Structure 1
Amino acid sequence: MSRNPPLARLLPFPVVDEAWRLALVPALAAAAALPLLPPVGIGLLALALGVLWFHRDPDRSPPDAEGIVLSPADGTVSVVREEGSRLRVGVFMNVTDVHVNRAPRAGEVREVRHRPGANRPAFDKESDRNEQVAIDFGEYELLVIAGWFARRIHPSVEPGDAVDRGERVGHVSFGSRADVVLPADVSEANLRVAEGDAVRAGETIIAERD
């Protein structure tokens, strides 16, 4: 259930609940500083608004088609590689991208695992060792990987939850990567994206099975 305050109606965009808690500290500091140090107060107010903007949560319209796999995140495809007998597609989320993650396919959550790790930049080849949360759907797996600045990965699903394709499954704060280990029957010929392509969570088709 949303905990967004009445003030949320004043924003021109919806945000995730966590945004209000993160924006509260600079907002209170801005209120204290404005009468005494207006430039500092304005800067802190801008920071609070920036935190809210970063955590915006727009609606998306998943395409209605069978056999498709959607992007789990907004951003740029930064990883396309074989991982054992399966393919892995990773999306790097820049600071200007929406950081709400969505289910690439419908399914039931089997497990949600948190793994501590390093803090390399999310676009770095070594970022696979970073802190991450894995959401295992059995048929495929979604991995949300923290970047050098991100320390808050917030899955919004639990084992046993059933999700639709394109449904929100969590968000991450301040830069990261979201990877999909694709179903075993998805081959390279089924891919619809390549490294460097821009994608949108819940809307861009990254693979399409025959």
Structure 2
Amino acid sequence: MSARFAPGAWRYVLPPLLLGLPVLLIAAPVGLALVALAGFLAWFFRDPERTPAGEGVVSPADGRVTVLREEGDRVRVGVFMSPFDVHVNRAPVSGEVTRLDHRGAAHKPAFSKDSVHNERVEFTVGDVDGALIAGWFARRISPYVSRGDEVDRGDRIGHIAFGSRADVVLPSGYDLGDVRVQKGEKVRAGRSILARPE
């Protein structure tokens, strides 16, 4: 099976690779460092296949659960992506994309409370709301879907370059007892089950 990469990966991978190969001939350590950087970037933009591990709302992102709280009559679950996680985001449920809004301008650390003002893409799929939130280093959120698109649970919906967070606001009727993860738990986009009603 051939490797799959997030759209736009080669924009980051090719410059250090094309520069590093000829530099190997005149300054081997520098050339090796550039080729290694290209290899890391290719690995960073990897996009593996995923299948949900069962019924329920799946994680929109790879990473660790850092937000788990009630907001009025709904529950928010947030997943922080480190630079070592896959950064392709996936639909938490099946349904129509009825909202897709790009807003915010700040670039605070994605795990901080100040990240509420960060650049983000807020979305609604079916009866689930969510947000792809850029971190302090991330400067590009690339949605793969448009308003009106139909997606299946676990489908790819976007990509955030270089560190970020993805939140899901569970449907009304879910409570903390329906959440199947804990703070600090490692989850995988499109595979790990965040919540499932009893």
Question: Do both share a fold (TM > 0.5)?
Answer: yes
Deviation at 1:37, TM superposition (A): 1.4
Residues 65-100 of structure 1: per-residue CA shift (max 9 Å, x gap): 3xx111111110000112232111000011111111
Q: Give the match for residue 69 of structure 2.
A: 81
Following the alignment from structure 1 to structure 2, what is the Cα–Cα distance between the partners of residues 144 and 198?
Answer: 18
- The corresponding residue for 1:90 is 78
Q: Residue in 2 aligned with 1:22? A: 12
- The one of 43, 68, 93 equivalent to 2:33 is 43
1:140 is displaced (CA, Å) by 1.3
SS of the aligned residue for 1:201 comes to: coil
Q: Does 1:182 align with 2:170?
A: yes
Deviations 1:5-60 (A, max 9, x none): xxx95xxx421121111112111221342222111111111111111100111111
Deviation at 1:183, TM superposition (A): 0.7
Shift of 1:158: 0.4
Gaps in structure 1 of 5+ consecutive residues: 1-7
SS at match of 1:110: strand
Separation in structure 1 between the aligned mates of residue 33 and residue 130 of structure 2, nearest angstrom: 37
Q: Which residue of 2 aligns with 1:5?
A: none
Question: Are 2:127 and 1:146 aligned?
Answer: no
Q: Which SS does the other structure have where 2:89 is aligned?
A: strand
Q: Number of paired residues?
A: 198
Instruction: Specify which of 135, 149, 152 is matched with residue 161 of structure 1.
Output: 149
8 A contact 2:75–2:175 mirrored in 1: yes
Shift of 1:190: 0.7
The amino acid of 1:56's aligned partner reads R
Q: With structure 2 as the length reference, what TM-score do the two structures score?
A: 0.94
Q: What residue in structure 2 maps to residue 54 of structure 1? A: 44
Q: Does 1:125 align with 2:127?
A: no
Q: Within 2, Cα distance between the matches of 1:172 and 1:140?
A: 20
Distance apart, 1:128 and its partner CA: 1.9
User: For 1:52, what is the secondary structure of its paired residue?
Assistant: helix
Structure 1 residue 162, shift from structure 2 partner:
0.4
> Distance in 1 between the 2:81 and 2:102 partners?
19
* Corresponding residue of 2:122: 134
**Letter paired with 2:144:** S
* Separation of aligned partners in 2, 1:83 and 1:130: 19
Cα root mean square deviation, aligned: 1.5
The residue that corresponds to 1:202 in the other structure is: 190
- After superposition, the C-alpha distances for 1:126-165 in whole angstroms (9 at most, x for unaligned) are 1122111112225111201111111111110001110001
